[in-house]
Structure 1
Amino acid sequence: MSINTNINNDLYNDYTTEDTEENESTSLLTNGSVQTRTKGASFFSSVFNLMNAIMGSGILGLAYAMASTGIVGFCILLALVSSLAAYSIHLLLKLCDHTGINSYEDLGHRALKNPGKVLVGVAILIQNIGAMSSYLFILKLELPAAINSFLTPDNTGNVWYEDGRLLLILVTFCVVLPLAILPKIGFLGYTSSLAFFFMLYFTVVVVVKKWSIPCPLPHNVTTVPDNNQTSNSSDSECTPQLFVVSSKSAYAIPTMAFSFLCHTAVLPIYCELDRPTKTRMQNVANVGISLSFLVYLISALFGYLTFYAHVNSQLLLSYDAYMPRDIMIMTVRLAILLSVLLTVPLIHFPARKAVILLLCGGRPFSWLIHIIATLIIVGVVLILAIFVPDIRNVFGVVGSTTSSCLLFVFPGIFYLKISSQPLKSFDSIGAILLVVFGLFMGVISFTVIIITWVQSS
């Protein structure tokens, strides 16, 4: 999921009375035509905003996905998912031009009436809860390591700041909750842009550190991430695998779907684009997805070629045993933690909006409902982050369900229901294939993940 899904555009306007004034200064889609404002977001600014929406915690799990599928298998799957993501955006933009609708939820209502709007709202809610829990999971694992990296090696023993769960609870109640409970949080929309540069820095560090950790791994001992058992590393384990098929491969496509989901942000970005046309916005999407694909591929490839089969499902953890006090690893850990800390409250806003919309409809703003919804969502996310044992479980379950729906299934179904094109047309056939692929891969991946859980328990 993307890190800033549907955040920078209409995240907090629902609670203010400034909608009319803001709509006068933005691009609007009305009756299938585009009314342009005098000055909108530039092409490259829109590309940056879309990449901001795409790139998130999924980047930490892609090296594990490569280890589970092999280099060639991973490249094929990543290219397939990114291409289908671009094509589903093409369908959404066509519907946007055809109907004048600029909201994913409203497209669901147009296609399937109230059930469609509810389905989209529930999917966005679950997707954002999954994204928030993945970020808090990173905080739980990385915060103790970040604190220890700044302390002297003589500090040993079980001290309170080494307990990731305790630190997570403190950070959630002291930082995340106060920021999330605000009715307006516009200033974090600017700081969240730093997250994209943090991801670029993370990629650079992964590439550089490929030559700092030799293979076989140091001390001839490594930790297998799935069962925390030790095994001897040998030269044979330093040979990259081109194709791998196992039960762990079921996590690959859901993780990729989780990593490329930006569709709830596409239509608002389209409205903000200077001289908005479908072709211009499609070019924005193609460039944004292509650059994200490149960053994802480089970080996954060099992460895998550093640790091979021993790569952790959360890549930063793989560096802890071998470079616990390396300056670059320390700084990239702080960068990731900072981006996570500032992004969780932002992702919370559309989740709370979906909850209030589903339960209360269009009722006026109420502080009581606002606070109760905030506490419930933060509580659920905190519980998930504390008790989920592995971040790949978040990527797998959320990616195979809501990410697949928002990325593949919903755009295809909405196009088939709303568009007047015949079923034999190119886009109609493409929409059918998009739905079939999303359902097939989602069901297969989710089934294998559940079977793996049952067998391991």
Structure 2
Amino acid sequence: LVVSILSLYSVHLLLKTANEGGSLLYEQLGMKAFGMPGKLAASGSITMQNIGAMSSYLFIVKYELPLVIKTFMNIEANTGKYSVLMMLRHEYCILHFVFQSLLNIGYLGYTSGFSLLCMVFFLIVVIWNMFQIPCPLDSDIVNTTLINATLAHFTDENTTIDDACKPKYFIFNSQTVYAVPILTFSFVCHPAILPIYEELKSRSRKRMMNVSYVSFFAMFLMYLLAALFGYLTFYGRVESELLHTYSAFLGADILLLIVRLAVLMAVTLTVPVVIFPIRSSVTQLLWAGKEFSWWRHCSITIVLLAFTNVLVIFVPTIRDIFGFIGASAAAMLIFILPSAFYIKLVKKEPMKSVQKIGAALFFLSGILVMTGCMTLIILDWIHTDASDGH
């Protein structure tokens, strides 16, 4: 709740700065505020954040697409044919996303709306399964072979069955440090705010804020319910990727297969919205003022998607992507840059005004979040044993 409110406040600062600064491009606001360093900071943060977002979506595809193909084609996991499918999943993503990414952002509202419906279906199934999967887990309905490793990794040896089925309101361990960056990452939409604002009919700051209120409330509700019911289903056994946890406990369930297809469709249709700000940022940084070129447009898209695919192959868990990007680029885009641009470009308010003091405190909180979380995440990486897959 706190992160969503702070992110909304950040959107307010960004829109007000765009009106006062006379530009609807994040990079140009950075240029007007701090010159080339400001432009580079904005462009770099947008690129990092959206590459992280694309990586997270591809990570879901990496896990879920082979399982869907395996189920439909009745392929055993240990066959060579299945290995080939594992290798081809990335090529599928590249080809599909290249065609999707050629669209104008105004048309992406339709695909985004459909992807949102897919995630609503995912949320309904998460809530439904909370009442269907008993705790302690009934060995008759789960694949015990698949969950042995999961139980060993996520259940403490001193935890009794009764304790394992009781919700804990606060849990502090080495993974707690990822909570704030993941939440920060989840509420970053700032690179897309200005392009959407530019294409909004009867454009006004008040109308765009109304769009933001509705969007943030819907996402907050979905995040909250998915997290709450997912946790109340598996408690301490929840994995970094929630769908993967259901795979371990339910195996080849028909409803789960439909959910996988819905989630795959959702992330596939969401990637074009994510890649649009990156491509715009790179173009503004390297080819500002030049005429549109299809060759350049397609080349940037292909390079970005190829790099993201390679990144996803070698990064161990989706949590690492969320944590690192959330602590760095997301903190820049939510806290640091909008407040810094606001302080510098909005001239009609004095530095001692409530608005400017609030923006300054917001800026300092962003510095604290970024440095604190980055330090703790790096320390966790250093001290985590290699044997656990990280």
Cross-structure match for 2:122: 202
Cross-structure match for 2:5: 83
User: Which of residues 32, 35, 43 is equivalent to 1:121?
Assistant: 43
Specify whether residues 230 and 206 from structure 1 end up closer, same or farther in structure 2 by C-alpha distance, changes over 3 A only: same
Count of residue pairs the alignment pairs up: 377
Please provide the CA RMSD for this pair: 2.7
Q: Please say if residues 223 and 230 of structure 1, whose CA atoms lie closer than 8 Å, have aligned partners that are also in contact.
A: no
Specify whether residues 368 and 225 from structure 1 end up closer, same or farther in structure 2 by C-alpha distance, changes over 3 A only: farther
2-structure distance, mates of 1:97, 1:173 = 37
1:405-449 Cα offsets, whole Å, 9 max, x none, are 111111111111112322332211211121111111111111111
1:100-128 Cα offsets, whole Å, 9 max, x none, are 33222222222112221221111111111
User: Which of residues 362, 370, 379 is equivalent to 1:442?
Assistant: 370
Q: Please say if residues 94 and 305 of structure 2, whose CA atoms lie closer than 8 Å, have aligned partners that are also in contact.
A: no
Cross-structure match for 2:90: 169
Q: Does 1:291 align with 2:218?
A: yes
Specify whether residues 283 and 353 from structure 1 end up closer, same or farther in structure 2 by C-alpha distance, changes over 3 A only: closer
Q: Please say if residues 140 and 164 of structure 1, whose CA atoms lie closer than 8 Å, have aligned partners that are also in contact.
A: no
Q: Does 1:148 align with 2:70?
A: yes
| 1:273 CA displacement | 4.3
2-structure distance, mates of 1:412, 1:425 = 14
2-structure distance, mates of 1:226, 1:102 = 51
2-structure distance, mates of 1:94, 1:174 = 39
Q: Does 1:400 align with 2:327?
A: yes
Q: Please say if residues 89 and 263 of structure 1, whose CA atoms lie closer than 8 Å, have aligned partners that are also in contact.
A: yes
2-structure distance, mates of 1:185, 1:357 = 16
Q: How does 1:302-381 map to 2 (within 5 A)?
A: 302-381=229-308
2-structure distance, mates of 1:157, 1:233 = 35
Q: How does 1:240-319 map to 2 (within 5 A)?
A: 240-319=167-246
User: Which of residues 419, 425, 431 is equivalent to 2:359?
Assistant: 431
Q: Does 1:93 align with 2:6?
A: no
1-structure distance, mates of 2:248, 2:232 = 17
1-structure distance, mates of 2:294, 2:211 = 38
1:131-186 Cα offsets, whole Å, 9 max, x none, are 1111111111011222233355x846334335674132331344234544x48687
1-structure distance, mates of 2:87, 2:156 = 27
2-structure distance, mates of 1:143, 1:294 = 27
User: Which of residues 57, 60, 63 is equivalent to 1:135?
Assistant: 57
* Paired residue type of 1:82: S
**SS of the residue aligned with 1:192?**
helix
Specify whether residues 164 and 244 from structure 1 end up closer, same or farther in structure 2 by C-alpha distance, changes over 3 A only: farther
| 1:89 CA displacement | 1.4
| 1:324 CA displacement | 2.1
More helix per residue: 2
What are structure 2's unaligned runs of at least 5 residues?
A: none
User: Which of residues 79, 82, 86 is equivalent to 1:158?
Assistant: 79
Specify whether residues 173 and 196 from structure 1 end up closer, same or farther in structure 2 by C-alpha distance, changes over 3 A only: closer
1:61-118 Cα offsets, whole Å, 9 max, x none, are xxxxxxxxxxxxxxxxxx1101101111121222233333322222222211222122
**SS of the residue aligned with 1:423?**
coil
